[in-house]
Amino acid sequence: MNLQTDKSVVTTSVALLSGLALLAAVLFMVAALMSVFSHIAPDDNLRKQAFTLERIKPVARVSFEQPKPAVAVKMSGQEVYNKACAACHAAGVMGAPKVGAKDQWEPRVAQGLDTLTTHAVNGIRAMPAKGGNPALTEANIRESIVYMLGETGIKTDAAPVAADAPK
């Protein structure tokens, strides 16, 4: 055989063995990676399902339960006036009788305190029911009317209930 051929056979054999060694190394690394990945728990789509449910959850819920009654807060006539009534009765907005204007209050007082209270609780003309504050009780409204009448100089038979008086 000739030297050229011998060199070619040796070169080919070395190249073939090098390629096989490289292939074996790659296969060994792939096997090692597979063993690492086999220890990860399979994805059971729980996170995806939870995300989907969170994304499509309703904005509000309908309830057919009866609402619980509001807790009545004890306020004096002056406090009720300052929080709800003064907005209109201090300036006489939209025909509201001004506190201190006796001539505006006298025709209304002539109807009686019970009628004034009923009108204030239910609303009349431009006045909203309970002065626009649905949390107020009828007693709160009555005390605020007695307070406004007292500030105007009109005496009523109904004395305001003291804040610390027992019920």
Q: What is the pLDDT of residues 48-106, one digit of tens each?
A: 888 888 888 888 888 888 776 666 668 888 888 888 888 888 888 888 888 888 898 88
Please check whether residue 88 is in contact with residue 127, taking contact to mean a CB–CB distance below 8 angstroms.
yes
Residues recorded for the chain: 167
Q: pLDDT value at position 102?
A: 87
Q: pLDDT value at position 163?
A: 41
Give the integer Cα–Cα distance in Å for 85 and 122: 14
Q: Give the mean pLDDT of the chain.
A: 82
Give the integer Cα–Cα distance in Å for 161 and 134: 21
**Burial degree of 142 (CB within 10 A; 0-12, 13-18, 19+):** buried
Q: pLDDT value at position 165?
A: 41
Q: If you average pLDDT over each of 17-31, 97-111, 135-149, which comes out highest?
A: 17-31
Inside any domain, residue 126: yes
Inside any domain, residue 96: yes
In the chain the first and final C-alpha atoms are separated, in Å, by 127
Inside any domain, residue 64: no
What's the structural domain count of the chain?
2
Q: Region 37-55: what's the mean pLDDT? A: 78
Inside any domain, residue 107: yes
| Residues 31 and 81 grouped into a single domain | no
Inside any domain, residue 143: yes
Q: Which residues does residue 124 pair with via DSSP β-bridges, in sequence order?
A: 127
Give the integer Cα–Cα distance in Å for 149 and 116: 11
CATH number at residue 90: 1.10.760.10
Give the integer Cα–Cα distance in Å for 73 and 108: 28
| Residues 23 and 89 grouped into a single domain | no
Inside any domain, residue 71: no
Q: pLDDT value at position 9?
A: 87
Inside any domain, residue 27: yes
More confident residue, 5 or 40: 5
Q: pLDDT value at position 15?
A: 94
> 20: domain range?
1-35
Contacts of residue 100, defined as CB under 8 A and 6 or more positions apart, other chains included, come to 151, 152, 153
pTM over 0.75: no
Inside any domain, residue 14: yes
